[in-house]
Amino acid sequence: MPISNALTIDVEDYFQVSAFAPHIPRSEWALRECRIERNVDRILAMLDEHGTHATFFTLGWVAERYPQVVKRIVAGGHEIASHGYGHERASEQTPEAFFSDVRIAKLILEDLAACAVSGYRAPSFSIGEKNLWAFECLERAGYRYSSSIYPIRHDHYGMPDAPRHAHRIGGLLEIPATTLRFFNRNWPASGGGYFRLMPYGLSRWLIGRVNAVDGLPAVFYFHPWEIDPAQPRVAGISAKTRFRHYVNIDRMEQRLHRLIADFSWGRMDELFLGRN
């Protein structure tokens, strides 16, 4: 029987991406064209077509404004989890502000979903060596697991010496984004921009290798804006940011169809916590 992997979606809109923060003030978010409903509906249709369930790490800001999105996710049999309230990096908050952010997001999501919210993912995988206090805040707020550490080297995030697979930090289960250990280095095998950049065959090989060699589920992630090539273009960004954000978004949806068909997938809570 094939290993089931965790399929996860970080529910945020294109204008909320951390790399765009210097160009799009939070005060302008409500003025921007929000494309989250349409894109989440396309993802839900894709998952339904393949008979697959997933985990949606959803911003409290999005849930407040588009409660029907949360309700449609739950109605489809998927897990609602937290991405915090306002997509602020955990590494840029005080412990008090972080606790308030993750607590209010959990309350909003639970009220709309009418079920417990167990999981959290930090925006931009922004928990690392310098803010491990965040795990105590998450446990105190009532979360059971986190998927907030990416054990790679990256210019914006990463904790390359962290364990590569699920492990306990206090009373919380941390489930890192998936990497493959190769040539004494962790290589990203989790989705996002790497999935859009690499040839599909390489991504498939990386996930298959984790299943075969480690004998454990992979954790794959993507964002609704990554299947939306018609999204408004943001002016004034650097060439590096432009490349990272827009590379191959016109191919992303078809690649996801192939990925979902090539592997077995499920929800984070059911794969790592057991069915509640």
Q: What is the pLDDT of residues 244-256, one digit of tens each?
A: 999 999 999 999 9
Q: What is the pLDDT of residues 113-172, one digit of tens each?
A: 999 999 999 999 999 999 999 999 999 999 999 999 999 776 666 688 889 999 999 999
Give Cα separations from 17 to 45, 53, 171, 241 (angstroms): 24, 25, 30, 11
| Statement: residue 44 has pLDDT above 70 | yes
CATH topology for 4-273 is TIM Barrel (3.20.20)
| Statement: residue 275 has pLDDT above 60 | no
Domain ranges of the chain: 4-273
Q: What is the pLDDT of residues 51-88, one digit of tens each?
A: 999 999 999 999 999 999 999 999 999 999 999 999 99
* Residue range 226-235: mean pLDDT, rounded: 96
What is the amino acid identity at position 59?
A: L
Can you read off the two tokens belonging to residue 174? 């941390």
Give the containing element (helix H, strand E) for 167. Answer: strand 167-169
Long-range Cβ contacts of 28-34 (<8 Å, 24+ apart): 29/61, 32/232, 33/232, 34/65, 34/66
Q: Over pLDDT 70: what percentage of the chain? A: 97
* Residue range 179-195: mean pLDDT, rounded: 88
- pLDDT of 156 reads 63
Quick check: 229 and 178 in contact, CB under 8 A? no
Question: Look-up: residue for tokens 């054990």?
Answer: 151
- pLDDT of 181 reads 86
- pLDDT of 276 reads 39
Q: State residue 180 phi and psi, 5-degree precision.
A: -115, 130
| Statement: residue 40 has pLDDT above 70 | yes
- If you average pLDDT over every residue of the chain, what do you get? 94
